[in-house]
Amino acid sequence: MSFAFMIHFQEEKVSVPEDISVISLGGLEIGRYIYPHLTTIPLSAYEQGKKCAQILLDIIEEKKVPMHSKIKIKPVIEGGSVKRINI
């Protein structure tokens, strides 16, 4: 999806990252082959599946299951699609 946005913004003469920032969730490999390189947040399907399986087992065993859970993610892979903002 983020790749399609990047193409669309280029066609519409919207500058990435000067006018808008784009981040990919999932760590697409294609992000390295477009300009500017896509900033990505890698997600592990394995870790997500493992967490989901554990929650399902807890439900089956009638254990208390939290409404929210956290999954550790790898560091952001910085590209050139995000503009730094000084706060």
Among 78, 79, 3, which Cα is nearest to 37's?
Answer: 79
Q: Where exactly are the structural domains of the chain?
A: 1-61
Q: What is the pTM (predicted TM-score) of this model?
A: 0.67
Write phi, then psi, for 81 (nearest 5 degrees). Answer: -95, 5
- Measured over the CA atoms of residue 60, residue 63, residue 69 and residue 74, the dihedral's sign is negative
Write phi, then psi, for 5 (nearest 5 degrees). Answer: -65, -45
Output the tens digit of pLDDT for each of the chain's 87 residues.
Answer: 888 888 899 999 999 999 999 988 886 677 777 889 889 888 888 988 999 999 999 999 999 998 888 888 788 888 888 988 787
40 in Cβ contact with 22 (< 8 Å):
no
